[in-house]
Structure 1
Amino acid sequence: MLDENIKHDAITDKFYSYLVDSKGFKCEELTVSGFMFGHAHGLPTEPQLTTQSNNVCLLDGLYFNMRGQWKVKLSNGDDIVSDYSFSI
């Protein structure tokens, strides 16, 4: 399960799947976006969220193509539900 308070380590050129807390939203209502600070661009893939159980979503297809600091956000419209930091 991803934790917003921890910077997560990952490597490039590998697909990741994580369990995330939906914080009371339906997984289908949430969108995933990512941002790489060093190069000011988004994710190279379009990760998907699917319902696993009550308030838990599977974030699948997360891929980091470059080394650096990344931020991945779950949103419901304009509202940020969660954000996660990754060091690649």
Structure 2
Amino acid sequence: MHGEYKMPGGKLVVIDLELHGDRLAKVQLSGDFFLEPDGALDLINRALEGQPAAATEAELARAIAGPLDSDVMMYGISPEAIAVAVRRALHKESAA
């Protein structure tokens, strides 16, 4: 599944994922944003792994923000923007 979201005033957020049962799996975040430190990308992907497919944008954003240390810098992206991209990917699947 594939979802995209252009954050207003920000950058393009792209999510590719699969569903295993009713849970997110093989989540890969990409786009034209910047994250520091580089390891933050892996933290975000892991935070989304196993989340319920029925999770709301707010629930997904909290799951993403939770493991991120205060030193993580997100340029042109936010947990909320990532959550929108995830929901878009899932919505495309349910609409098919």
When normalised by structure 1's length, the TM-score is 0.37
When normalised by structure 2's length, the TM-score is 0.35
The answer to which structure has the higher helix fraction is 2
